[in-house]
Structure 1
Amino acid sequence: MKILNLSPLTGIGWLVLFWTSPSVYFSGYFINRTGKVMVMFLTSIIFYFLCKAVVLAKEENSFPISKIDWFLYSISMLIITFLDEQGVFLCMVFFTLLLIWHLIIRQKEFAIMIFVCLATIILHGLYRFFIAPHFIFALNGYRPDFSYQILPMILYVENLAQYLQAGFFLYLDTFRFLIGNPPLPIGFILLILLIFSPIYFMYANRQRSDNYRKCFGLALGGFLITNVLLVIMNSFMLLKHPPLMWPEARRVFYWLPTTVILVMTLSVWTRLFLKSAVFKFCIVFSICLAVVGNIVALPKHKAIIMRQESYVHSNIQSSSDLLKALKNLYALTDSDDPVIEKNPVFQFFKLKKKD
């Protein structure tokens, strides 16, 4: 809120919308899916850093970034690639953005950010394909087979329009579930309005300096590219896991990184129109209305997720059973549930207790 100079009410409103979106609200049901939660958290740090860099880049000369910010950016970039495949993809997204930005605004800070991002990608690749297999062979006596990670790109190219369309509708659902759960057509119209409204803002403020207009175009292009790449990421995920199109899958942890990027993008968009009293009232009223919509829709989302035929229902149940077992130290000596017995978290604490 400090960087964007948002009012407390607006900032709190976006925060409540974030927490009442189904993918965030129900993420606590899956204690074995903390990787995506961490990716979401680190994505928010990186995205904040990039937004701050663009805001500071309005100055002609080199812009100051604190050592703490550099540390958080670097460590977040490093860790995010080791948590989840979405983290790897998002790291590549950030690298693409930074490269484009540096071609437009040649400042050393952007060059350093590109170097950190590229070094992270290279380090992850070295660990993934060279270092980790040697460790696994040394510890377990076999070499891992990475064929399961390969995407069937021929199938993807042959059905490109179908996968991109499905990826877009998954993105649109995530957007709708964040802003009050409007019907699909209304959600689509709102998305189109949000895309074109910054262009209107720039036209209405055409008297601004050339450097401001350049940085504004830089930020707008970055947001658009990021969200288009999120659609592509969804299509890749669907290529690997088709059940993501099922109603229950659209409401759980898979969309945490997308949700945090969307809410931060919308927060930046909000800042553009807060100076007008009319727009400010409309924005605050719309956010309050969306909060009510999110809260009212939560029971419906829960019913879809918790139904017996839902494929995520068993994951929720096993997570609940595992949590109960871990809360009772005496239960760690044995378990009748084979799913819990084989769980690595359960095995870790079981071995610790024996020690």
Structure 2
Amino acid sequence: MQKEKNPVVWFSAACVVIAVIGALLFQRGGYMHLESLQFLQNYTDDRGFLQKIFDPQKNDWGFYQAREFSYIVDWLDSQLVWLTISLGAPLFYQFTHFLGIAAIAIASIILTRRFFPALSLSSATLFALLFMTSPTAFLSGNYFRSSKIIVSVCLMAVVWLLHARLAKGQGYRRFLFFGIALVMSLSDRLGFFMCFLVVAALLAHSVLFRRRFERGIAIEFLGAAAVATIYNLLLAPWLIWIINGQRVDFSYQTMDWTLMFKKYHYYYYSLHLVVDHVRFYFGNMYKEFAVLFCFLLLFAFALPGSVSAGAGSDTQNPWLRGLARVGFVFVIFVMVASLYAGMQVRHKALVWPCVRRIYYWLPTSVLILYFVTSLAAHLASIWPQVMRFLPVALFISFLANLYMLPHHDVILRVGFCKNYMAAAPRLRACLVNKTLDISKLDLSNEERGLCEYVRKRTH
């Protein structure tokens, strides 16, 4: 990797910081979702720390999901939100979300320059900014749950560690993948299922590129999933009973998986979701253009070149390596779409226009960031002239993302959270000005309850 000049490095870091500040300002202090109102009271009451963490009744409305690690991070966010309230400037932000997207962006810049030296620092920075200005990253910072950003940061680490191992043949520390996978699994059910997707991806890579199956890595992911299952079924229920005297309800984890094969419309919507995330990533292009763009991306991966996704392959024919790359990307695409289908079985609101722009899709955005960066490096290895116009094309896409953010924001403000977003200024006024008559404010009962709770706690 070329040694960067300090001013250029600092400029890239400044771009990431400015993007975070821009997201903070754009969301105008954030808003309180119905669930968030309960979270803040739960995590700041007088009970002990463990009682707050091992409480699925309040943290997940009784829908036990064994994701207590994310509750610890939620507790930290709650302390920061409470601090802003105590200082008289309530900010309803998920502060760890902004820390997480900044970490992903900075890591992407550093690792892109390390593994894809053909890409300039400006291109690496612009790829990171595309991620940061996609609606999923930019507009998901209100105070809610930290589970998806934790999974996203872990997935970022997994993707690049696997790249170093599979594409470059580098070694890895034993149990490193196990630790990351365990954190993912204990943070969200999505992270748990991703352990199996990673193993499937390793198997697909071995078959398509005729490489030795990375059995050790697969065992670490399966081992983490096994430990998480033991925690889910035995350890966590026992701890919850010992600490809070609650019996857990597994009904939310039980679902009819056969619906994924009987209800084909789930896959239809999943394909739309994947296409949407690609087009949101590049300036909210029309769906037809996004579909064409996806096919062009696959075709570009098929071109013979020295992209690292196929480096070290035992397949000598360059065109066969290209087809293997296309096959591998397609397998990832199918797995993500299948995961979306399974998520819809449990949570049908995922296809709503407002929901498809925020929160749930952060891990997918991380995958898009890696694959488009890898593709750019592949094209640069074939046609070095690509580097002449790549930064310009990325900058135009970045400007398009900025231009479309108000459009995405409007969709959020007319969606299911519109009442919470509209009430946020009144809720902040109630929390700051304790002389206001709560009963006369246009707030929901839950929002009035938070105001009363804060006034009692700060009296």
TM-score range, shorter chain: 0.7 to 0.9
CA contact (8 A) 1:46 1:76 kept: yes
Closer, same or farther: CA 101–273 of 1 in aligned 2, 3 Å:
closer
**Corresponding residue for 2:416?**
311
The equivalences for 1:53-202 within 5 A come to 53-57=165-169, 63-65=170-172, 67=173, 73-101=177-205, 104-106=210-212, 110-160=214-264, 162-202=265-305
Q: Give 2:150's aligned amino acid.
A: M
Tell me the equivalent position of 2:148.
Answer: 36
Q: 1:26 aligns with which of 126, 131, 139?
A: 139
Report the Cα distance in structure 2 between the residues aligned to 1:74 and 1:218, rounded to whole angstroms.
28
Give distance in 2, aligned partners of 1:317 and 1:257.
29
Deviations 1:301-353 (A, max 9, x none): 0111112xx11334556888888999x7x99xx9997536888xx99x99998
Report the more deviating stretch, 139-148 or 265-274.
139-148
Q: Distance in 1 between matches of 2:228 and 2:331?
A: 24
In the aligned structure 1, how far is the partner of 2:178 from the partner of 2:354?
Answer: 35
Q: 1:45 — aligned with what?
A: 157
Identity over aligned residues, as a percent?
A: 21
Which of 335, 338, 345 lines up with 1:239 in the alignment?
A: 345
Contact 1:23 1:253 in 2 (8 A): yes
Distance in 1, matches of 2:306 and 2:162, equals: 24
2:102 is matched with which residue?
Answer: none
**What letter matches 2:408 in structure 1?**
H
TM-score, with structure 2 as normaliser: 0.63
How many angstroms apart in 2 are the aligned matches of 1:323 and 1:91? 41
Match of 2:407 in 1: 300
The Cα of 1:55 is off from its aligned counterpart by 2.0
Q: Distance in 2 between matches of 1:96 and 1:245?
A: 26
Secondary structure of 2:360's counterpart equals helix
Q: Give the secondary structure class of the aligned counterpart of 2:237.
A: helix
Contact 2:305 2:378 in 1 (8 A): no
Higher relative contact order (CA 8 A, sep 6+): 1
Mark the CA change 1:119 to 1:350 in structure 2 (over 3 Å): closer, same or farther. farther
CA contact (8 A) 2:137 2:362 kept: yes
Q: Structure 1 stretch 142-151 or stretch 15-24: which is displaced more? A: 142-151
Q: Which amino acid aligns with 2:131?
A: F
For residue 311 of structure 1, what is the amino acid of its counterpart? F
Unaligned stretches of 5+ residues in structure 1:
58-62
Q: 2:302–2:322: 8 Å Cα contact kept in structure 1?
A: no
Partner deviation per Cα, 1:202-237 (whole Å, 9 max, x = no partner): 599xxx986475887766544332222111111112
The residue matched to 2:255 in structure 1 has which SS? coil
Query: Structure 2: which 5+ runs fail to align?
Result: 1-111
Q: Which amino acid aligns with 1:224?
A: F
CA RMSD of aligned residues (A): 3.5
Q: In 1, Cα distance between the equivalents of 2:330 and 2:288?
A: 21
Tell me, yes or no, if the aligned pair for 2:136 and 2:362 is still in contact at 8 Å: yes
Letter in 2 for 1:191: C
The 1:115–1:33 alpha-carbon spacing in structure 2 relative to 1, beyond 3 Å, is: same
Name the residue aligned to 2:446: 339
Quote the Cα distance in structure 2 between the aligned partners of 1:90 and 1:318: 36
**How much has 1:48 moved relative to structure 2?**
0.9
Q: CA offset at residue 34 of structure 1?
A: 1.4
Residue aligned with 1:153, SS: coil
Q: Matched residues in 1 for 2:125 and 2:206: separation?
A: 33
- Residues 318, 229 of structure 1: alpha-carbon distance in 2 compared, 3 angstrom cutoff: farther
Query: CA offsets, 1:255-308, max 9 Å, x none?
Result: 11101111111101110011424333343332122112111101100111112x
- Which structure shows the higher helix fraction? 1
| SS class of match (1:273) | helix
Matches within 5 A, 1:233-312: 233-275=339-381, 276-307=383-414, 310-312=415-417
SS in 2 for 1:173: helix
Aligned match of 1:17 in 119, 130, 138? 130
Amino acid corresponding to residue 268 of structure 1 in structure 2: S
Shift of residue 192 of structure 1?
0.7
User: What are the Cα deviations for residues 135-159 of structure 1, in whole angstroms up to 9, with x where unaligned?
Assistant: 2223333421211222233433221
CA distance in 1: counterparts of 2:223 and 2:254, whole angstroms: 23
| AA of the residue aligned to 2:402 | I
In the superposition, the TM-score normalised over structure 1's length comes to 0.80
CA gap 1:277/1:154 in 2 versus in 1, 3 angstroms:
closer
Counterpart Cα distance in 1 of 2:455 and 2:205: 50
**8 Å Cα contact 2:301-2:322 kept in structure 1:** no
The whole-number CA distance in structure 2 between the counterparts of 1:56 and 1:229 is 24
Query: Aligned partner of 2:127: which letter?
Result: W
What residue identity is the alignment partner of 1:81?
S
Rate the CA distance shift 1:118–1:139 in 2: closer, same or farther, 3 A: same
- Deviation of the 1:53 alpha carbon: 1.1
2:373 and 2:425 map into 1 onto residues whose CA distance is 34
